[in-house]
Amino acid sequence: MTNKFLGEKLRLARLLNGLTLQELGDSVSASRQFIHQLEGDTRQPPQDMLFALSEKLAVKSEFFYQPLDNDVKFEQCHFRKRKTTPVGLANRVCSYSTVFETLIEFLSEYIEFPDNNVPDYSNNGNNYTNLEIEQAAEKCRNHWGLGLDNPISNITNLLENAGVVITSFSGVSEKVDALSLNRKRPIIIRNEAKESPCRLRFDLAHECGHFVLHEGVETGDTVTESEANRFASAFIFPRAAFLKEFPRNFTANREASWQPLYRLKVRWGLSLKALIYRAHFLKIISSQEYRAANVWLGKTRQMRIERYDDQVETEIPELLKSSIELLRDEVGIGFSKIADALHIEPEMLSTITGIPIPPTEKVSNVEPLFRSL
């Protein structure tokens, strides 16, 4: 802790709240220029301004005096649609990730998380052939003892058992497919706005593909995203099993032809759209049949929500929630005390973790438990 107000921490808190310099200034009766000067460490806020900033940004006053030493950079995130992502949204996601990593570091002082058991098959940034991606997905399945013949019942639990922390961020998830980062520990941020459980599973497998294929590589371009998509398809539904189970007489315009695909969808937890893409990729169906299948999905209004989605389990992350509950039950550090340790308000902690504030907890003013942010 320092006795000097740190402008970089004000910027972090502002980005956490998705505010521009002007918007923050207006909310605390200050000019945009003054907020800019605070962030640039050329001015120090008076006491009443400090309180106003803390209240508006849902952080403790101490937050601004704790040095920042682990901020997440945009290029360190596996972030889809990187080129088209608005700068403000990208900055907000990175600020969330920065505080979220600090939360995991704090929890790790008390809770023993599963070891990071995600394999690394990266090839120093070189592009992968289709065969190499299929083989990487198969090696990954075998690494986790899954074999190649059976579906993965719960990808979320599988990744959490391999040491991945999975969460969702309120307020930004609707505009973000999914993203991940792998610095001190692999983290995946889901998009809970997606209504299809199959597509949530695919997103997780896609981010797993980045961990496996793209360690140390800046992603978000067409090539790396395509590689992660191909990995996800092969990881969820391996090649040999797919060639064995996908019907050979599929005709897109015949309702009866889709019945076996519905069964495959429910069995393997892979969307219809992904199934027909993989069938085309493996040359089971022609390009013409593939286009006709996509047209049929559009006509039957299944591009976002598909038939039998309700037959596929919606997977819920448990590792983070159970860790926070264990800390409360075994150590006596509840939700509000965790927020105090990070110098943020419980409302902000809830936003970052996607976990509601327990109704039985009251905001406390204990001394911070965590030493650095």
Q: Which amino acid is at 301?
A: R
Tokens of 318: 């448990």
Q: What pLDDT, on a 0 to 100 scale, did the predictor assign at position 27?
A: 97
pLDDT number for residue 50 = 97
| pLDDT reading at 370 higher than 50 | no
Q: Alpha-carbon distance 348 to 22, whole Å?
A: 21
pLDDT in tens, 96-106: 889 999 999 99
Tell me which H or E stretch contains 166. strand 165-168
Rounded-to-integer distance, Cα 176 and Cα 179, Å: 8
For residue 229, pLDDT over 70 is answered with: yes
Whole-model pTM: value is 0.89
Q: The tokens 């504030």 sit on which residue?
A: 357
- pLDDT of 371 > 50? The answer is no
Which CA distances in Å does 98 have to 20, 74, 83, 248?
19, 11, 21, 49
- In this structure, are residues 282 and 274 in contact, taking their beta carbons and an 8 Å threshold? no
Model pLDDT for residues 278-304, shown as the tens digit of each residue: 999 999 999 999 999 999 999 999 998
Q: What is the mean pLDDT of residues 351-365?
A: 75
Higher pLDDT, 137 or 168: 137
Residue with tokens 């004000």: 10
Tens of pLDDT along 311-327? 999 999 999 999 999 99
Q: Residue 191 has what pLDDT?
A: 73
Percent of the chain scoring above 70 in pLDDT:
92
Q: Write the pLDDT tens digit of every residue in 111-138.
A: 999 999 999 999 887 899 999 999 999 9
